Amino acid sequence: MDVTARQRAEGEVGRLRARLAESEGARARLTTLQAELVAGGDGLTAVGQTDAMVGRSAALRAVQEQVARVAPTDTTVLIHGETGSGKELVARSIHRLSPRAGEAFVPVNCAAMPESLIESELFGHERGAFTGADRRRLGKFELADGGTLFLDEIAELPMASQAKLLRVLQERAFERVGGAEPTRVDVRLVAASHRDLARQVERGRFREDLFYRLNVFKVRVPALRERREDIAELTEHLHQRLARRMGRPVLPLSDRSLRRIMAYGWPGNVRELANAVERATLLADGGELEIELPESPIGPAGGGGPGTGGMGGAGGVDASAGSGATGSGGARDFLLELSLEQLERLHITHALEASAYRVFGQGGAAARLAINPNTLLSRMDKYGIPRPRLARRATKGQGRSLGGDGGRGG
């Protein structure tokens, strides 16, 4: 090949690489817009009002205020919340309110990537970098250049990948797999996990230096059971959006279903509610929306204490008893219809959930309720609430301090 031909070939290679980069970037932007359209139904919803952000509870308002405060900055954000609580929707709200809103939002589920491909997915690779790498490929960091990269379930990254991620955050540059030239990017990072990263650091499962890099501004997304006053409004919002998408009629929620959704524990959070509403919308053939739920109405994972099948039993809240009201005041009306015993049982259940099913000690359910631990245990027995294993052992040898988690995993 003579010099002129070589120059022409190199020029063509450069043009093709530029077109490839543009097409990859356009694909990322298209993915962002499609996700926003799906979240908004038949049009983009108001900023911050995608599914998980619908409601007026104090817990949700706190999240919305945090999002509004941090979004206009380039600060790294760490989002913590249970699976299905809406961590990605919070991340999208941060992006949509930021100066980067016109650029790509690139979500990455760290738990879904094979360990052998993590580097290639995040940083890209050069042609010939490994078997099957027949062309150069841009990684998620390059696709998010100028925009926001959302690393969901970041606690699932292997330690080796955590070290490489830390270096990128420090230097704002990386090399593609099989490459030697550093690539610089301008990316705003938002990370999320359902795990407590500080506890993961203590257990040696997450790098302490990376944790400090990520934990600049933390947003905790409340579980749906922690903002029960939002459930009726959120259900109505989901049903209206899904009905329009499916071409189905918008129906009022039945009194029976209102009582059910207000009493249920929602272990799958907003995602589980959305699935239940979608199923009900699809199957609706009467004048009201009927939502079917599992039998156990209260408690995370659809049940009560650890190792149990549910919270059913004596004194349980009957999700089909009484008559309810409709509209946004349904939650208040539902609570007014409960007996004092049912209310006390509900209160005890919430205290146990909030304390990770610890009865004794500082931060335990008894301390939260300001009652003697033995009194709490007797009331749990009265209402058929299963005792955590450690609490059962403690009653045989009084005076033993219980600092464990009652068998609940992190």
pLDDT digit string (tens) for 151-193? Answer: 999 999 999 999 999 989 988 888 777 777 888 889 999 999 9
Separation CA 162–CA 175 (nearest Å): 15
Give, in order, the Cα–Cα distances in Å from 236 to each of 20, 44, 85, 366: 44, 18, 17, 36
Confidence at residue 79, expressed as pLDDT on a 0 to 100 scale: 98
Confidence at residue 371, expressed as pLDDT on a 0 to 100 scale: 84
Separation CA 222–CA 220 (nearest Å): 6
Domains and CATH numbers, the chain: 3-222 (3.40.50.300), 227-396 (1.10.8.60)
Separation CA 141–CA 139 (nearest Å): 6
**Which residues of the chain have a pLDDT value below 70?**
1-52, 128-133, 295-342, 389-410
Question: pTM for this one?
Answer: 0.63
pLDDT digits (tens, 9 = 90+) for 204-234: 999 999 999 999 999 999 999 999 999 999 9
Confidence at residue 336, expressed as pLDDT on a 0 to 100 scale: 53
Confidence at residue 46, expressed as pLDDT on a 0 to 100 scale: 31
| Three-state SS annotation for the chain | CCHHHHHHHHHHHHHHHHHHHHHHHHHHHHHHHHHHHHHHCCCCCCCCCCHHHCCCCHHHHHHHHHHHHHCCCCCCEEEECCCCCCHHHHHHHHHHCCCCCCCCEEEEEHHHCCHHHHHHHHHCECCCCCCCCCCCECCHHHHCCCCEEEEECHHHCCHHHHHHHHHHHHHCEECCECCCCCEECCCEEEEEECCCHHHHHHCCCCCHHHHHHHCCEEEECCCHHHHHHHHHHHHHHHHHHHHHHHCCCCCCECHHHHHHHHHCCCCCHHHHHHHHHHHHHHHCCCCCECCCCCCCCCCHHHCCCCCCCCCCCCCCCCCCCCCCCCCCCHHHHHHHHCCHHHHHHHHHHHHHHHCCCCCCCCCCHHHHHCCCHHHHHHHHHHCCCCCCHHHHHHHHCCCCCCCCCCCCCC
Confidence at residue 342, expressed as pLDDT on a 0 to 100 scale: 67
Closest CA to 295 of 275, 279, 316, 326: 316
Q: How far is CA 380 from the centre of its chain?
A: 31
